[in-house]
Amino acid sequence: MSNGPAPSNHTNANADAASDTDENETDASGEARKEMHELLGELRAEVTRLKAEEARARAQNWIQRHPLFTVVITVGVGAAAGYGASQAFRPRRPQPLSERVRKRLRGIGGDAQELAARLRDRLKERAAQSGTNLRNRAEETRRRLSEEAQKAGEQARQEAKEVADQASKQARSFSQDASERFREATGEAKRRLSERRSEAVEGARELGEKIGETASETIQNRTGGESKSDRGRPFARSLMALAGLAAGGYLASKVRRWL
């Protein structure tokens, strides 16, 4: 019947789902950082270009503020070149750097907000998808563990039934063997008891016969020729009675000893 491993599979599924979610969030964060770096690079390039334009405008203003220097230059290259230079360096009102930067920053801020909104929506979608996957995996794990537990319980019941049947068979076999041995022992005891009783009866009978013979001989020896007379009859009866009592007592003690 086994789980643990049952608890262990459920924990691994949750860990895999959490790992997938972390990887998705890491990928999304990496993409967002990459786009932010690209926007910052564009912003730096734009600031550099605006600074170059501002420097050029300042140079033009400086030249306009120093006409003598301009005249010296124009004299050196000729009247035509001076006219062209004067046209080229005609004062123009440059757009302030701060205004350009603010516009560009506003544009970049809008792009960043849009990017953040897209990133947030993407993270929500991935989180919802990860939650759904996690629930599906948890449900699948729970169902698999339930099936495994049911199979383990059925196997345990089957094994318990087999063990019980085997124990019942062994108990019946042992009971039959014990009954058979008891019957054999009882029959043997009865047979021996019957033999001993027969021997005791036979011994008592033989002893009674011997006692009777001895008593008869004794009576005959003592009475002699007077056994036929009336005076010898009471004495003979007494001796026969004593002999019978002695034989009966011995027979009783013999039977008790054998039993």
pLDDT at 110: 75
pLDDT at 1: 39
- Across the chain, mean pLDDT equals 69
The Cα–Cα gap between 186 and 128 comes to 85
pLDDT band at 169 (very low <50, low <70, confident <90, very high): confident
- Domain range annotation of the chain: 6-171, 191-258
Higher-pLDDT residue of 221 and 81 is 221
Question: Vertex 119, ends 113 and 122: CA angle to 5°?
Answer: 145
pLDDT tens-digit series, residues 3-58: 444 444 444 545 555 555 556 566 666 777 777 778 777 877 877 888 788 777 77
The Cα–Cα gap between 203 and 210 comes to 10
- Assess whether pLDDT exceeds 50 at residue 126: yes
pLDDT at 69: 61
pLDDT at 208: 64
224: alpha, beta or left? (left if phi > 0; alpha if psi -120 to 50):
left
Higher-pLDDT residue of 74 and 162 is 162
pLDDT at 209: 65
- Assess whether pLDDT exceeds 50 at residue 175: yes
Stretch 89-100: mean pLDDT, rounded?
58
Taken in order 90, 93, 98, 103, is the CA torsion positive or negative?
A: negative
Question: Vertex 72, ends 67 and 74: CA angle to 5°?
Answer: 90
Share of the chain above pLDDT 70, in %: 50
Give the pTM.
0.28
